[in-house]
Structure 1
Amino acid sequence: MSFRSALLSLLLLPCASLAVIAAEPDAVELPAKENFQLFLLVGQSNMAGRGKVAPQDKEANPRVLTLNKQGEWVPAVDPIHFDKSIAGVGLGRTFGLEIAKANPDVTIGLIPCAVGGTPIEHWVPGAYDPPTKTHPYDDMLPRAKKALESGTLCGILWHQGEGDANPTRSKAYEKNLTELVDRLRKELDVPDAPFILGQLGQFEGRPWTESTHAVDKAQRHYAETHDNALFVSSDGLNHKGDNVHFDAASYRELGKRYAKAYLEMPQPKSASK
């Protein structure tokens, strides 16, 4: 072997080593099933998140994981959703960090399944969402069931309603919401799993209509009249400049509010096996 060939071989070795090292952070070791607390994230774009990603959102925590598009558990760094190319900072990652902080003996697993722009009627078996060419409910269910092989579902986080703030859909919102929660709990075998829903954005540039108020009233009423259900306020939160989506700081705050609601409510009587 010539000197040049030998030198070239030596130069190539560190590159290969670096490739292995670079891949290692994504390799995670899962805890025992009882110590792996899972949370399902469902709804539309304000659950998926559209906030601008900052360096702090890319900091991995070994005890906060997410199920990626390929069905693999990886560190939860934003964006964790993949419904659209504009996915960014959402509330899920901060929620996970807060729950992990409060429970140092467990690992948190997030199951992102939100789809931007979807009305609640697209969250039923067989429903198709033309803009995203997806079946939101049917795509979510196998992901959630696959995740349950590794952990225990401890809660369902929902943020949705903008797609139903019209005269027709708003009238059926509470009925559809009740059926959705009952169906999720039954199909995932979590009859007492906490269901936490967040309030729609309250932005001056987009005043609420009668239909928006109707959706808000339905969400509040559901939380008030059903066990293991909580409503999280969006008071004081800001939008990113479009009068529709929260900004990154508001998503992080919303995640903290979801976490506070979860931590302060009585724990479910039973969980998935």
Structure 2
Amino acid sequence: MRVFSSVVLPAFVTIALSVTASASQAAPVKVFILCGQSNMEGKGAIKHLEQLLADPATAKAYQHLRNDNGWIERNDVFIKYNDDRGQGKLGLGYGTPTNRFGPELQFGHVVGNAFDEKVLIIKCAWGGRALAVRFRPPSSGKGDYTQRNRETKELEPLPEETYGEAYRDTIRIVKETLAGIDQVVPDYDPQEGYELSGFVFFQGFNDIIDQKKMDEYGQNLENLVRDVRKDLDAPKLPFVIGELGQQGVEPEKRYAQKHFAFRKMQEDVSKLPEFTGNVAFVKTSPYIVKDGESFDGGYHYYGRADTFFNIGNAFGEAMVKMVKSN
């Protein structure tokens, strides 16, 4: 962060300083953090993506992902995935497992096309993590959940270090990546620097299946936004909340009430006065294809490439709108 004093300077000196500052800040790398559980890890089947590209009826939407030489990697968008799941130019190969992809793919294309600056995506995602437990933000304090002892079969309190484990890992990975950003972004210029430009949180399944965790989800999500901004020293960091839309626009009747209530909690956080214009709730349920081929059983949005592509696109468009408006 650059700090300028309030001392009055001669006009020509002020102009010179202004030009110098503008030049040095002309093209900072835009950094976006994508965080969540298994759907953010990415379950879109590359096999399905190949089918979509082979079908003339659908190929046009995906043609920017491949050329005659194979799958395209962008020269202006880079990615770092967790500690050990790879880094490099944005392309395929950053899902879990590696024959899958997640929202990062089309998100990266959207933000890469929208900004002249280079882009770095830091992806922090682990399956099976609840916001009430492992993603628990510091402001929520310690939870009071239990686990069953494998030997005695008795319930016992979760170890204290379990709470916030994924949250702390996310903050750590972001800070470590930025400290060594020249190892991820080729030809990185420290004079131009980087700027934290946005955070996407796509998570919720492990909370909705436990009523106690669901009941505190709204407050935990509020705290997550505030704590991320505080711990990354980015007070107005644009924040996208991805809807838990697994059941589609019309969930099964036996689950509908719970899913609609959960989605409302997510959306209500984005409507808080302090978050107006800098937190966006993005629906993912419209991209569910229930009557098509499934590539992941009934889980993870059926593992469909078109669904994960469209979710990434929606996240990207919402993020670009916030960044440009701010």
| Fold equivalence (TM over 0.5) | yes
Name 1:174's counterpart in structure 2.
218
Write the deviation string for residues 176-225 of structure 1: whole angstroms up to 9, x where unpaired.
Answer: 11111111110011110111011122346855343322221110101122
Matching of residue 114 in structure 1 with residue 125 in structure 2 = yes
Amino acid at match of 1:244: Y
TM-aligned CA deviation for residue 250 of structure 1: 0.8
Question: For residues 236 and 94 of structure 1, do their structure 2 counterparts lie closer, same or farther at Cα, with a shift above 3 Å needed?
Answer: closer
Amino acid at match of 2:283: S
Q: Give matches, 1:20-99, under 5 Å.
A: 34-53=27-46, 54=49, 56=65, 58-68=71-81, 69-70=83-84, 73-81=87-95, 85=97, 88-99=100-111
**Contact map agreement 1:48 1:87 (CA 8 A) in 2:** no
Moved over 4 A (4+): 70-73, 204-207, 266-269
TM-aligned CA deviation for residue 35 of structure 1: 2.7
> Which of 173, 180, 188 is residue 143 of structure 1 equivalent to?
173
Q: Which moved more, 1:179-188 or 1:66-75?
A: 66-75
TM-score, normalised by the number of residues in structure 2: 0.63
TM-aligned CA deviation for residue 244 of structure 1: 2.3
Matching of residue 263 in structure 1 with residue 293 in structure 2 = no
Name 2:204's counterpart in structure 1.
161
Amino acid at match of 1:262: M
Structure 2 Cα separation of the partners of residues 143 and 193 of structure 1: 17
Give the alignment's Cα RMSD to 1 decimal: 2.8
**What is the count of residue pairs matched by the alignment?**
231
Question: For residues 144 and 64 of structure 1, do their structure 2 counterparts lie closer, same or farther at Cα, with a shift above 3 Å needed?
Answer: same
Matching of residue 202 in structure 1 with residue 202 in structure 2 = no
**Contact map agreement 2:36 2:125 (CA 8 A) in 1:** yes
> Which of 171, 180, 184 is residue 228 of structure 2 equivalent to?
184
Structure 1 Cα separation of the partners of residues 319 and 36 of structure 2: 18
TM-aligned CA deviation for residue 265 of structure 1: 2.4
| Secondary structure of 2:126's aligned partner | coil
Amino acid at match of 1:52: A
Structure 1: runs of 5+ lacking an equivalent: 1-31
Amino-acid identity (%): 25
**Contact map agreement 1:127 1:137 (CA 8 A) in 2:** no
Amino acid at match of 2:177: A
Structure 2: runs of 5+ lacking an equivalent: 1-24, 51-64, 139-159, 182-193
Matching of residue 128 in structure 1 with residue 162 in structure 2 = yes
